[in-house]
Structure 1
Amino acid sequence: MNINFDLNDLQAFRAVVENQGFRRAAESIRITQSALSRRIEKLESALGVKLFERTTRKVSLTNVGRAFLPQVERLLDDLDLALLSIGDGGANRRGTLTVACVPSAAYYFLPHAIRSFHGQYPLMKIRLIDVSANEVSAAVAAGEADFGVSFTGNLAPEIEFSPLLEEHYVVACRRDHPLATLDAVTWAQACEHDCITLDKSSGNRLVLDRALSGLQPGKHSVCEARHVTTVLGLVEAGLGIAVVPSIAMPISAHPILAKVRLVEPEVVRQMGVLKRRGRTLTPAALALEQRIRALPGTLTRD
């Protein structure tokens, strides 16, 4: 085969995959969309295959493109590692790092790691895909995200799960709420108060429904929302209490919100990092993952 393509063409290919389209891919590697299209056409011509299916609405990999992607990622990742060993450690590194995560991790938990990461990689752009647990797994499996942060569940075979922390579900309430003064609250006590709940599309709702199948409900929910962040906003407004994973709560003291341990029964879930099997993280992605792994040690209780 006459290898008539270069590193820029391979980087363009990965950028289109990671950004799910040509416009955002061109922006991420700072070239025009027409220049990006020429690089992809050049690569496809050199290989003699079609790598992408393109419609007016979306861009997706062909079967050949999906098979080619892991090889490109491995080559570029190995090159990135080699350059890092002789480079400046990250201060001048550019690019986009994509992380898929459940919304409960995106609000209070991940920003601390991203802020620390930004200090070492100030020119790197972080793209957060904050979606449901199933969508996190799918984004990592498809190569749309460098890695994911989610909880255990029905993971695709090509996904490996690495534990991060075991977290408890807690009562979220205002600091002026009667429950805020307690060290722990039973589910029976919690059910006596107006409650804001997550709807059935939430992975957290599934975890809770399974754990509490034998518990008789107390008061009816006064409001139901899809995302934990929305629920916490309603709690702050004084509409009621809510049961949320502890990772969704502020790491340090909050002027309005308080969290109280839930018991009888305690409900826990395993949070972790999701990666695609066989893929080596880039130095930048590895640096962010390490910062995320350091976060559980900083978690404090109210």
Structure 2
Amino acid sequence: MELDWLEDFVALSSAGVFAKAADARNISQSAFTRRIKNLEYWVGTPLFDRSVHPVTLTQAGESFRPVALDMINTLNTARAEARGLARREDAVLDFAALHTLAISYFPRWLNRISGAIGPIRTRVVAENFSGCVEAILSGSSDFMLCYHHHTVPMIADDARYPSIRIAEDRMIAVSCPGLDGQPRFTLDGTDTIPLLCYTRDSFLGKMTNQIIDRAGLRARCDFLYENSVGEALKSACVEGLGIAWLPMAAVERELSEGRLIRVSTEAAENPISIRLYRSMERSRREVERFWSYASSL
């Protein structure tokens, strides 16, 4: 049995098409097919159902996949250590996180987990919603941290990209205070609402537009400023430019200090959750350790 066979197996289980997987592995399709057959001979049973297109894993293939991933990681690490080239990269956990979560939530959440299981080496890339999804689907991140709401489609493949709910949050409308200590802008009455908004295709933008339409506020909203990053909208709101809908967890400090005031009622708010997604294809000891503890909270 060769390491290449295991890597071919993982490539085909992800691609589902022999030609596509062979291209990704940079070998001819005939050679790729031959190596897959050699692996199946070695295991002693078919690992792929070839009666469907794209091909799918048999029950034996499903059972063998996590073993293959673990063997690949173990063999690569052992080889690197034997050559004196091993680095600590495997101990680094890669996260793709929405900008707002990367700034306002991730450090506090990581500190809580680190306090229980010890120091954790992390690398965080702050992205928009589509960028986060692309990062985990492309295999460049171990985990994805994002908001979730049942009305916004997410990754459908729960087997490859399972998720857990780690917190609840809520979209609320906020305004800075006026000289009298009362909100400078409100949602009450008939006055125009100076709107600070997200890009329409962003997750928080979709949530905000749902709220505005459901609460019947669309006709009163006057667009003033757009930014895909929630922290930028929060700053604009603190400066008094208008009203913004923001996750409550992202404005807790500003609310407690009186720099922002909540101006929405339940009818003009939306509950959202924070979910952690992982890629089963990036399984290694540190990833499994972190996932196991995060799942237990």
Partner of 2:153: 154
Q: Is the 8 A contact 1:137 1:274 kept in 2?
A: no
Structure 2: which amino acid aligns with 1:258? L
Partner of 2:126: 130
**Residue 233 of structure 1: SS of its match in structure 2?**
helix
Structure 1: which amino acid aligns with 2:125? I
Q: Is the 8 A contact 2:176 2:183 kept in 1?
A: no
Displacement of 1:228? 0.6
**Residue 129 of structure 1: SS of its match in structure 2?**
strand
TM-score (norm 1): 0.57
> Where does 1:216-255 land on structure 2 (aligned, <5 Å)?
216-250=218-252, 255=257
Partner of 1:27: none
Q: Distance in 1 between matches of 2:190 and 2:293?
A: 36
Displacement of 1:169? 1.0
Q: Distance in 1 between matches of 2:193 and 2:219?
A: 11
Task: Check 1:178–1:213 CA distance in 2 against 1; reply closer, same or farther (3 A cut).
Answer: farther
- 2:104 corresponds to 1:108: yes
Structure 2: which amino acid aligns with 1:108? S
Partner of 1:205: 205
**Residue 273 of structure 1: SS of its match in structure 2?**
strand
Q: Is the 8 A contact 1:169 1:262 kept in 2?
A: no
> Where does 1:159-198 land on structure 2 (aligned, <5 Å)?
159-176=161-178, 187-188=187-188, 192-198=192-198
Displacement of 1:171? 2.2
Structure 2: which amino acid aligns with 1:202? S
**Residue 237 of structure 2: SS of its match in structure 1?**
helix
TM-score (norm 2): 0.58
Q: CA RMSD in A?
A: 4.6
Q: Distance in 1 between matches of 2:109 and 2:137?
A: 23
Q: Is the 8 A contact 1:117 1:291 kept in 2?
A: yes
Partner of 2:49: none
Q: Is the 8 A contact 1:191 1:217 kept in 2?
A: no
Partner of 1:274: 277
Task: Check 1:279–1:266 CA distance in 2 against 1; reply closer, same or farther (3 A cut).
Answer: same
Unpaired segments ≥5 residues, structure 2: 8-21, 27-31, 36-56, 58-63, 76-87
Task: Check 1:108–1:285 CA distance in 2 against 1; reply closer, same or farther (3 A cut).
Answer: farther
Structure 1: which amino acid aligns with 2:124? L
Tell me which structure has the larger Cα radius of gyration. Answer: 2
Q: Distance in 2 between matches of 1:213 and 1:293?
A: 38
**Identity percentage of aligned residues:** 12
User: Which whole-Å deviations, capped at 9, do the CAs of 1:96-129 have from their partners, x for residues lacking one?
Assistant: 211111112111111112345566654x532112
Displacement of 1:279? 6.4
Q: Is the 8 A contact 1:175 1:257 kept in 2?
A: yes
